[in-house]
Amino acid sequence: MQLSGYLSPNLQKTTPVEKYKQLLPVNGMIEGFAVQSASRSGNEALVTVAIKAGGVESLIMFNLVKAKQNWYIDSIAKAP
């Protein structure tokens, strides 16, 4: 439930609470992460993060939106 505070209203509306844990496309406990790149255009941003989980490193893209002076996750996907 705490994750909802980081999700955009749109993502909250389209994702049932029980599916929140499936938003991050990694398996296992997160062992570490490092921001690889970030870009911003107005009230939107794209952040690519290398996440190591379960011994495997994956590149994950976080699309962010700004609302009420805060940034929220609008979508999460594996980087191509």
Read off the pLDDT of residues 18-74 as tens digits, 9 standing for 90 and up: 999 889 999 999 999 999 999 999 999 999 999 999 999 999 999 999 998 999 999
Delimit the domains of the chain by residue range. 2-78
Residue 61's contacts (CB-CB under 8 Å, 6 or more residues apart) are 46, 47, 48, 49, 76, 77, 78, 79
Q: Is residue 1 pLDDT above 60, yes or no?
A: no
Q: What is the pTM of this model?
A: 0.89
Residue 2 has pLDDT above 80, yes or no: no
Q: Are strands 30-41 and 44-53 parallel, antiparallel or unpaired?
A: antiparallel
d(CA 61, CA 79): 6
- 2-78 topology per CATH: Nuclear Transport Factor 2; Chain: A, (3.10.450)
Terminal-to-terminal C-alpha distance of the chain: 29
Q: Closest by alpha carbon to 10, among 78, 65, 51, 61?
A: 65
